[in-house]
Amino acid sequence: MKIYMTSVFVDDQEKALRFYTDVLGFVTKHDVPVGGDDRWLTVVSPEQPEGTELLLEPSGHPAVKPYKDALVADGIPAASFAVDDVQAEHARLTALGVRFTQEPLEMGDVTMAVLDDTCGNLIQIVHTKA
């Protein structure tokens, strides 16, 4: 068994697509209209185009807003992405105007930081020393 897809609920799919591609550097895998303004919209790492897809899922279900609000209020990331160098990625993203809710923090072999994806989620970036 392997992870094929995971998702984050986003307030605005178009805004999320711009953030996840233009800022974070992912690439669009699927963009299929599914009715109304909603789309089956996934992105992948350019380093693993056939790897795990991230679905930018519309936040339309009534349970989503309280769930997302509670996670953000408690500082809990909705997703975690691996990077080669948290400090360098933090500097690059900060220069692009990304707001971090947790600055890079080293804890043993792990360095992490948490950013605001502008679509209602906190996202963790992490690097583990080999």
pLDDT band at 130 (very low <50, low <70, confident <90, very high): confident
Q: How far apart are CA 63 and CA 30, in angstroms?
A: 25
3-class SS string, 23-55 = HCCCEEEEEEEEECCEEEEEEECCCCCCCCEEE
The class (CATH top level) of 5-128 is: alpha beta
Looking at residue 127, its pLDDT comes to: 97
Residue 99: band (very low, low, confident or very high) from pLDDT cuts 50, 70, 90: very high
Q: Where are the domains of the chain?
A: 5-128
pLDDT at 35: 87
